[in-house]
Amino acid sequence: MGDNIQCGGKSLNDQCLLLTGLFITLTPSYVVVGTVSKIDGSTVQILNGTLSLDLSQAEIVDPLTNAKLPISSIIPGMFITPDLHTPVAGDSMLHATSVVTKPLNQGFLVGRIEQIDIADNTITLLGHKLMLNGMSRFDTKRKGGLSSLKVGEVVGTNVQVSEGNIVIFTITDKKKAIQAQQ
């Protein structure tokens, strides 16, 4: 017979999808992938509003940090991968069991931390002040948040410009950050 091909620790016949470096095992659920176009409470529309997803029972996860996120962290333009319950005939609403998010970022910066200002909740990277806010997430090894960073350390950041400020969505070590962008 052929080789026993493994996918995320499962044999190939268990069905597995490799998406941006993450293994997602499909057992007997379904997956859709798309960009969020509209949000109304726990209902999210993707693919320009052609598919509606109920996220009220879903566990929402950041793939970089494995942190569990609230529904409010999902915003229009964000790329999501929901794992779905088996669709019910006649029900156009798809019901998610879990959702993997990809932060909506306008940029990706990798560099040495030049300055850390805990009181101002900022770091300086590549000569620019980057702000952290309530939506900023650190990788799992950074339990101390901003205080876990060190001047001179090389980090990767996914950022967005908001009200004229560069705001960090995720911050991690250089290697993880580059892998997350591939």
**What pLDDT score was predicted for residue 112?**
92
Q: Percentage helix, strand, coil, to 5, in the chain?
A: 10, 50, 40
Q: Which pLDDT band, with edges at 50, 70 and 90, does 125 fall under?
A: very high
Query: What are the Cα distances from residue 80, in Å, to 41, 107, 113?
Result: 16, 18, 30
Mean pLDDT of all residues in the chain? 77
**Share above pLDDT 90 across residues of the chain, in percent, rounded to a whole number:** 24
Q: Which fold has domain 6-102?
A: OB fold (Dihydrolipoamide Acetyltransferase, E2P) (2.40.50)
Q: Which pLDDT band, with edges at 50, 70 and 90, does 18 fall under?
A: very low
Entry pTM: 0.50
The CATH number that domain 107-181 falls under is 2.40.50.320
User: Pick from 109, 118, 105, 180: which is nearest to 151 by CA?
Assistant: 118
Query: What are the Cα distances from residue 150, in Å, to 2, 90, 116, 182?
Result: 50, 55, 8, 26
- Residue of 103 and 60 predicted with greater confidence: 60
What backbone torsions phi and psi does residue 180 show, to the nearest 5 degrees? -65, -25
- Identical fold for domains 6-102 and 107-181, yes or no, is yes
- Residue of 123 and 157 predicted with greater confidence: 123
DSSP state for residue 105 in the 8-state scheme: -
Query: What are the Cα distances from residue 158, in Å, to 24, 59, 111, 124, 132?
Result: 23, 22, 12, 14, 11
Query: Domain ranges in the chain?
Result: 6-102, 107-181
**Cβ within 8 Å of residue 120, ≥6 positions away:** none
Q: Which pLDDT band, with edges at 50, 70 and 90, does 19 fall under?
A: very low
